[in-house]
Amino acid sequence: MSETTPKTRKANIAQDLRGIPNLVSLARVLLLFVAITVWFAGFKVAGVALGIVAGLTDYLDGYLARRMNLVTHLGAILDQFSDLLFESTLLLMVMTSGVDGVPPLWLLVIYLVREFWITTIRRFMAAHGLTIHSNFLGKLKTNFIGWSFVPWFLYIADVVPGLATVWQILGWTGVGGGLLWSVLSAVDYSKQFFRAYDTLEITD
């Protein structure tokens, strides 16, 4: 019984940019800025709706990449970039909204320190041909923080005032849970880094 050798090809950024999954990732970035523009133009509910559509594309691009066999290095880069942009931008908007009861700005600092650390160690290890593998906690972090914007923006816009407490509880659950998974996943990534670092050799 013969073994099937996986097909390989050279990366081509022009070709990969035209791939449907990567176009979906780019659309997420565009939709984010459109949603922000609509929000600040005073159309609060429409802005939230567009943000939801942007968030849903995070699942669509990965599904299409696997379904169409179009998994690329560029796709991984765009996915990480759009996740970070989406989460940090919306957290900043919530925390600087001036509305009572929203999370304090210093929580964003915790979030960003984690992201800077993980990005730095991944880049270092990649330069040495080593990989820090993603884990489920990291995916939980992205989903909790990413979707917390929905109840928070409904709370800020005072949509259905009678549900303000519900929006606030759901929002805090998303941000608090996301930051918890963020820290726990960072611990796991750091352990991978420390183990891999001890295998490196230094040339005198």
User: Which residues, given as ranges, of the chain have pLDDT below 50?
Assistant: 1-2
Distance CA 30, CA 130 (A): 33
| One domain, residues 9 and 104 | no
User: How is residue 105 annotated by DSSP?
Assistant: T
Residues 88-147 pLDDT 10s: 999 999 999 999 999 999 999 999 999 999 999 998 998 888 888 888 998 899 999 999
Count of domains observed in the chain: 2
188: CB partners within 8 A, 6+ apart:
135, 137
Q: Is residue 91 part of a domain?
A: no
| One domain, residues 110 and 132 | yes
Would you state the pLDDT for residue 8?
A: 65
Distances (CA, A) of 108 to 94, 180, 184: 10, 13, 16
Could you list the residue range(s) of the whole structural domain that residue 140 is in?
A: 96-204
Would you state the pLDDT for residue 67?
A: 86
For the range 185-191, what are the long-range contacts, defined as Cβ-Cβ under 8 Å and sequence gap of 24 or more?
185/135, 185/137, 185/138, 185/140, 185/141, 186/114, 186/117, 186/118, 188/135, 188/137, 189/118, 189/121, 189/122, 189/132, 189/135, 189/138, 190/117, 190/121
Would you state the pLDDT for residue 3?
A: 52
DSSP 43-92: -HHHHHHHHHHHHHHHHHHHHHHHHTT---HHHHHHHHHHHHHHHHHHHH
Taking the whole predicted model, whether its pTM rises above 0.75 is answered as yes
Q: Is residue 69 part of a domain?
A: yes
Q: Which two tokens stand for residue 140?
A: 């939980």
Q: Is residue 89 part of a domain?
A: no
Q: Is residue 36 part of a domain?
A: yes
| One domain, residues 112 and 153 | yes
